[in-house]
């Protein structure tokens, strides 16, 4: 099948969980012989790891790409543009659902468009009833994310903004001045800094996330909201345990491999963090649990993606049988 992805961002210029989920999905589809093409406003490159990327052209040029495709993939803030275009060229679409928010525009699109949710939690929302869907956990191939051992000494927060729990991160840094903390710049929301926390190192956003995990001993995710939390599984590929808020998404992704603390209880974070840092036996056990969880989720990539591929093909076949919708 010919797959055209009309999205707002893509690596190497845009590095967030949704974009990396899409990237690994496209690599999987491409490896099975499907043609893929990505369109974004600011590509940064003509291709990334074998995936071709073009600049988001004016409407007439985009329409040519839509006509070329058998199915269009999109997500997040490109919903509106994609819906307008699929109506005019009469093509099916696959929308990736990365959160539990209600995108009302999806309610209005042709019934042959389909949905892919990133977790059971996101699929549980009371919207989009009657629309065909599948669940695909954000693919995190272990060998891709595994970093070299040695030099892991930092307590890391990726995307140091308010929603991701930057306030707790900096409080912990001040509580434990003997530990080294790493704040990695995110690709969205205002990034918070605290110059009083002298043991915090700042790192720029990069598509080479493995460099972050080479430095990381513990990943912190004191998030207000996570629909899945793929960075926890990326880190788990290297046996890096995550200390996380018990959001529905993080509990689904990490399962028993997670180390949880309520964001309203700073003392619980301090106690859990200190135990991971100081109790070597406890750390090794939690590290092993993380590795096992990463390996377990990797086994789900093929069967989940095969279900998605079947769903996409059904949407294409159904479209072919239907009369044109004006």
Write out pLDDT tens, residues 134-178: 999 999 999 999 998 767 899 999 999 999 999 999 999 999 999
DSSP state for residue 126 in the 8-state scheme: S
Distance CA 315, CA 326 (A): 18
- Domains in the chain and their CATH numbers? 2-137+300-321 (3.40.50.2000), 142-298 (3.40.50.2000)
Distance CA 267, CA 11 (A): 38
Q: Which pTM does this prediction carry? A: 0.93
Whether 103 has a pLDDT exceeding 90, the answer reads no
What confidence tier does 110 reach under pLDDT thresholds 50, 70, 90?
low
The H-assigned helical ranges of 216-279 are: 230-236, 248-254, 266-278
Write out pLDDT tens, residues 172-218: 999 999 999 999 998 888 999 998 999 999 999 888 899 999 999 99
Mean pLDDT of 72-97: 90
Give the pLDDT of residue 105: 76
- Residue 223 half-sphere exposure, CB side, CA atoms within 13 Å? 24
Write out pLDDT tens, residues 60-70: 577 889 999 99
pLDDT mean across residues, the chain: 92
Mean pLDDT of 24-42: 96
Whether 325 has a pLDDT exceeding 50, the answer reads no
């Amino acid at each position: 099948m010919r797959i055209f992805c009309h999205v707002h961002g893509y690596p190497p210029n845009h590095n967030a969980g949704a974009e990396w989920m899409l990237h690994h999905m496209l690599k999987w589809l491409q490896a099975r012989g499907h043609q893929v093409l990505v369109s974004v406003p600011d590509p940064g490159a003509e291709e990334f790891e074998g995936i071709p990327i073009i600049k988001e052209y004016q409407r007439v040029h985009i329409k040519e790409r839509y006509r070329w495709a058998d199915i269009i993939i999109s997500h997040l803030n490109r919903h509106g543009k994609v819906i307008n275009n699929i109506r005019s060229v009469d093509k099916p679409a696959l929308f990736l659902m990365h959160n539990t928010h209600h995108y009302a525009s999806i309610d209005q699109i042709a019934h042959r468009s389909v949905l892919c949710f990133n977790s059971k939690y996101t699929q549980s929302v009371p919207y989009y009833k009657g629309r065909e869907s599948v669940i695909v956990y954000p693919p995190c191939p272990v060998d891709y994310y595994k970093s070299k051992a040695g030099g892991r000494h930092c307590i890391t927060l990726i995307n140091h903004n308010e929603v991701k729990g930057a306030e707790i991160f900096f409080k912990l840094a001040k509580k434990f001045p003997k530990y080294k903390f790493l704040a990695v710049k995110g690709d969205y929301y205002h990034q918070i800094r605290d110059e009083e926390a002298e043991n915090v190192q700042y790192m720029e956003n990069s598509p080479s996330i493995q460099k972050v995990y080479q430095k990381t001993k513990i990943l912190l995710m004191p998030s207000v909201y996570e629909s899945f939390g793929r960075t926890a599984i990326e880190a788990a590929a290297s046996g890096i345990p995550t200390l996380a808020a018990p959001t529905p998404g993080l509990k689904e992704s990490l399962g028993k491999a997670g180390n949880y603390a309520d964001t309203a209880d700073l003392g619980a974070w301090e106690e859990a963090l200190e135990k991971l840092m100081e109790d070597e036996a406890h750390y090794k056990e939690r590290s092993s649990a993380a590795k096992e969880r990463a390996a377990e989720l990797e086994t789900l990539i093929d069967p989940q993606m095969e279900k998605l591929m079947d769903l996409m093909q059904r949407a294409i076949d159904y479209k072919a049988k239907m009369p044109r919708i004006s």
